[in-house]
């Protein structure tokens, strides 16, 4: 039985890593999946994989930091696959592990634009339709960096804390409208998010001081399993929650 049969899911940052894994898992469970990423070449590859597996997928590249680009993505999804039942805000970038005294204003703004403005723009765009239909699911991919103080630099940490705040606000305020909004807080995951990172020596040293308590890193498919649960009827009473998926790292 396909538990997401005929539902339309909009997944950001789906060109690789966690977003790609979620797109594959949702498509395998019968969802019509719209994928977006800033890199079109990655989207083409993921879309081909999903189609070859028998799934239904559409895609468009775009910069989630741009409100107009986000609206264009939402409009394209609606035209090609219908109204959005499930929104997954996965796209995010790191901050070179810069501590507050070192992070540039440009880097701070870019991290905030992608990690919190983008999810706000997508939520703002889909919520009216969800309210009108009386149903909807929003899943925000935060991080244990949104729960703890030094899993990344100042900008990333702040943005992921903010995303959890947005999650809880939407979850409570729209609960009576048939809408659920939850967050996943992964620990270390084997993705390409650190590619090209040029870390601050001081910030990286402070970050690594606690790395010894990390049991292991997850594979993206393990986080996709949590995202599938939160999108499924089995999670009907889970709302405004943060599901930590870190192998027990923060339990130390």
Active site residues: 156
97-126 per-residue burial string, b: 16 or more CB within 10 A, e: under 16 = bbbeeebeeebbebbbbbbbbbbbbbbebb
Query: Which residues sit opposite 36 in a β-bridge?
Result: 12
Query: Which residues sit opposite 10 in a β-bridge?
Result: 34, 87
Q: Name the region of 184 (left: φ>0; alpha: ψ -120 to 50; beta: rest).
A: beta
* Distance, CA of 217 to CA of 193 (rounded, Å): 13
- Alpha-helix residue ranges (DSSP H) falling in 86-200: 105-112, 118-133, 154-173
Torsion angle defined by CA atoms of residues 27, 30, 34 and 40, in that order, rounded to the nearest 10 degrees: 30
56-59 and 86-89 beta bridge pairing: unpaired
- Please report the DSSP string for 209-226 in residue order: TTGGG---PBPHHHHHHH
Strand (E) or helix (H) holding 238: none
What is residue 91's DSSP assignment? -
């Amino acid at each position: 039985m396909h538990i997401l049969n005929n539902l339309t899911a909009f997944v950001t940052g789906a060109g690789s890593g966690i977003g790609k894994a979620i797109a594959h898992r949702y498509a395998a469970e019968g969802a019509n999946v719209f994928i977006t990423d800033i890199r079109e070449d990655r989207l083409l590859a993921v879309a081909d994989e999903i189609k070859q597996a028998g799934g239904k997928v559409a895609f468009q590249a775009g910069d989630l930091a741009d409100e107009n680009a986000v609206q264009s993505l939402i409009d394209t999804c609606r035209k090609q696959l219908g109204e959005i039942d499930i929104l997954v805000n996965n796209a995010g970038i790191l901050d070179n592990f810069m501590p507050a005294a070192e992070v540039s204003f440009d880097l701070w703004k870019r991290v905030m634009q992608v990690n919190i403005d983008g999810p706000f723009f997508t939520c703002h765009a889909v919520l009216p339709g969800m309210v009108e239909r009386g149903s909807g699911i929003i899943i925000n991919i935060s991080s244990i960096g949104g729960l703890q103080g030094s899993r990344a630099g100042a900008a990333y940490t702040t943005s992921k804390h903010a995303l959890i705040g947005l999650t809880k606000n939407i979850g409570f305020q729209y609960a009576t409208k048939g809408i659920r909004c939850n967050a996943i807080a992964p620990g270390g995951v084997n993705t390409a998010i650190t590619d090209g990172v040029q870390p601050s020596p001081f910030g990286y040293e402070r970050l690594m001081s606690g790395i010894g308590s990390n049991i292991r890193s997850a594979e993206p498919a393990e986080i996709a399993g949590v995202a599938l649960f939160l999108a499924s009827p089995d999670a009907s009473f889970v709302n405004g929650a943060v599901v930590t998926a870190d192998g027990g790292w923060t339990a130390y």
